[in-house]
Structure 1
Amino acid sequence: MAHAVVLGGGIVGLAVARELTTRGNQVTVLEKEDHWAAHQTGNNSNVVHAGLYYKPGSFKARMSVAGNKSIIGFARDHGVPVEVCGKLVVATSEDELPALYVLASRAKENGVPAKLISPAEARSYEPEVSCVAALRVHSTGIIDFPGVCTALVRLLSAAGADLRLSTPALGIRPGRNGGVEVATGSDVIRADALVNCAGLQSDRVARLAGLTPRARIVPFRGEYYELRPDRRNLVRGLIYPVPDAALPFLGVHLTRMLDGSVHAGPNAVLALRREGYRWRDVSPSDLLETARFRGTWKLARKYGRTGVDEVLRSLSRKRFAASLARLVPAVQASDLVRCTAGVRAQALLPDGSLVDDFLIETAPNQVHVLNAPSPAATSALEIARYVADQVKLS
């Protein structure tokens, strides 16, 4: 039986591990934290994306459309809470109509069930919304992604996988007789292949394994508020703005969660540590690494004004509320209560361009998932199939 070691215990790593076990392989999963889904998977908006935004033919487009169906099916089969509620993407001014029409065209190209609707029709879904037109996306849903990870861990345990928490990979080298060896501090794991699904640490893991990855991970923190319980009635489902096509972020939006709470956000500010969920989470070494990367400065020159606006919105509840009030005018700063934050592992190229698609690189006996931000959780089972196809196991 061939043996693969998977680094990273988020939804992508666990899905890859499960896919490899279903193909008859022995799998070891190493997670440096003391629980599964500790970072991106456990700190996102829990939205099952439809595949609306992505360039036709891209990994993201193909995998999110297929992933929407597969992750919802998995959740239903394994008792994980999920609801296909649909969402509205709303144009709040005439200027946004061309971009909304582009989204509608892209939805058609990608096979996403969606329909342009009038303001009156939009208000039949969301009575408090303000728009000049909207796109109703039928297949968007909400899900418990950490619950999906719990189900995957249960399946992996039943299949005999070796699951290790609090076990970082400290060294990676070629095996003496082929394959790879991974040092953990207390053990050396010998395997036929390695799969890197380390998210925020994925580029560092790749370098540890002897690769020079094309992209560098730059962490962006997304901060959320939620509506006070007595103001949750302002939002029935999911309300999104028309996104800026030049940015990888969708803009602050309103999302009713499975428990009935309504989350608002996220914004996008540079995190001061790879896993920095608060302004006071600062790592001098992480900051120095980001500052030394020339792509960071080229990105800053290109999006400097946007970055300043995001920081100001991070520091001002009033500004955050004003962004939401474009979608739902009744939202006021006093309605917002600060809640969770997540950190997005965004791959950045030396020329300052953000990697727009999933980025997966291979080396002998190695596969490295180097860019898997949203919609990676939606697409996890599809990414897992693709990655498993790349793993060369006899």
Structure 2
Amino acid sequence: MRASGHDFDCDVLVVGGGIVGLSTAYALSRSAPGTGVTVLEKEQGPARHQTGRNSGVIHSGIYYRPGSLKARFAVRGAAEMVKFCAEYGIAHEVTGKLIVATDRDELPRLHALVQRGRENGIPVRELGPAQIGEYEPEVRGLAAIHVATTGICDYGAVAAQLATASGAEVRYGEEVTAVDRRPWGVAVRTRSGTVVRARVLVNCAGLHCDRVARLAGDDPGMRIVPFRGEYYDLARPGLVRGLVYPVPDPAFPFLGVHLTRGIGGGVHVGPNAVPALAREGYSWSAVRPLELAGTLGWPGSWHIARRHWRYGAGELRRSVSKRAFTSAVRRLLPAVTEGDLRPAPAGVRAQAVLRDGTLADDFLIREAPRTVHVLNAPSPAATASLPIGREVARRALTALSPSRPRAAR
């Protein structure tokens, strides 16, 4: 396979048909009309993994370090996502949410979130125990904050609309197996034997982004370590009016077991965070030995295990014991019973881990010759997908050589 300097199939080739890849294609069509864009997605439709397997929350941006990409893009993206859904008739609702402290040790962290929210320009209201009941009669806590800008939507429908509105050529069932990058462009081969030639490659491969980066000849300096989030559905959804979260541990990029009323009226409970035994390991029985060996062979995985084994043990216990999971939920919602929790489809978080075991906290976008890699974009990436897409598109357009004619469309 050899890239040609004379015959391109497109100007920008996007690998990955999740919400970030499709937002990038959408941004390219709006910021540079006439740019030829092709999206390759290995599944038979869009949003089959992280995008389509989350709780559907439009995050406010309250959790993220002021000035970080996550903070700026989530705050901006939340407003844009509501507008996008309204424009295209996609089911959504601005519900607000409660973040509830159930233990005195959590109160300092709750107060820190109030300050962080204000620094990020997010309206936050502090609540006492009686005021919690005004929002959520069945929820108990010592204190809480109400975040008015949080909402919910159908991210699968958003991704499908982005695919249509972008005008890009979206090819499903095309898994990238080889990348040939030359001074004049990039050629990609898929498992079906298809070869696509482009002037610039954008890697939005999510759970497989580090693999695609290595195929391109780049050392991403990180590995995706997959964490499975297990959910239940609440059999008595009337126990919860909206969205209820615990106070998160700032040492981890996970938000803890929470309760989320979805667009359809049901209530998701979860997720926890346990190591997945495959990149797409949605159950304990889903094991891919080569992928697991890659995770275990990455030094960062062992650093995480040594530093955070107590936290991990608690998550594993909640995975194998419904009673333990129920106990975690009862801290927020005392009325819930084991019988109220019905197993629901799991999701997998594509968490970038550095060699020293650091969990990448912010979105991670890196550039190489004729290539842009999105290397860490888990939650709140769906919320922030429109600003992320614009940022990635900006970098891709910068990489396009102005001296070459655009690809034929």
Please report the TM-score for the alignment, with normalisation by the length of structure 1. 0.97
**Residue 277 (structure 2) aligns with:** 272
Q: Which residue identity is paired with 2:316?
A: V
**Residue 29 (structure 2) aligns with:** 21
Equivalent runs, 1:98-177 vs 2, <5 Å: 98-156=108-166, 159=167, 161-175=168-182
1:272-319: per-residue Cα shift (whole Å, max 9, x none)? Answer: 001000110001111111111111101000111111111110011111
Counterpart Cα distance in 1 of 2:201 and 2:81: 25
1:35-62: per-residue Cα shift (whole Å, max 9, x none)? Answer: 1101000100100000000000000000
The answer to whether residue 199 in structure 2 is matched with residue 199 in structure 1 is no
Counterpart Cα distance in 2 of 1:148 and 1:198: 18
Secondary structure at the aligned position of 2:318 is classed as helix
User: Which of 59, 78, 93 is residue 49 of structure 1 equivalent to?
Assistant: 59
**Residue 5 (structure 2) aligns with:** none
Secondary structure at the aligned position of 1:170 is classed as strand
User: Which of 296, 316, 323 is residue 321 of structure 2 equivalent to?
Assistant: 316
Secondary structure at the aligned position of 2:263 is classed as coil
Q: Which residue identity is paired with 1:105?
A: Q
Secondary structure at the aligned position of 2:176 is classed as coil
In the TM superposition, residue 186 of structure 1 has moved relative to its aligned partner by: 2.6
Sequence identity (%): 53
Equivalent runs, 1:361-380 vs 2, <5 Å: 361-380=366-385
Unmatched tracts of structure 1, length 5 or more: none
Root-mean-square deviation (CA), in Å? 1.1
**Residue 407 (structure 2) aligns with:** none
**Residue 327 (structure 1) aligns with:** 332
Please report the TM-score for the alignment, with normalisation by the length of structure 2. 0.93
Counterpart Cα distance in 1 of 2:265 and 2:322: 22
User: Which of 228, 233, 240 is residue 238 of structure 2 equivalent to?
Assistant: 233
Equivalent runs, 1:350-365 vs 2, <5 Å: 350-365=355-370
User: Bigger shift: 301-310 or 217-226?
Assistant: 301-310
In the TM superposition, residue 169 of structure 1 has moved relative to its aligned partner by: 1.2
Counterpart Cα distance in 1 of 2:274 and 2:92: 29
In the TM superposition, residue 149 of structure 1 has moved relative to its aligned partner by: 0.9
Q: Which residue identity is paired with 2:97?
A: K
Counterpart Cα distance in 2 of 1:273 and 1:211: 23
Counterpart Cα distance in 2 of 1:53 and 1:214: 25
Runs of 4+ in structure 1 deviating by more than 2 angstroms, as ranges, are none
Q: Which residue identity is paired with 1:189?
A: V
Q: How many residues align?
A: 388
Unmatched tracts of structure 2, length 5 or more: 1-7, 403-409
**Residue 227 (structure 2) aligns with:** 220
Counterpart Cα distance in 1 of 2:205 and 2:263: 28
Counterpart Cα distance in 2 of 1:165 and 1:187: 12
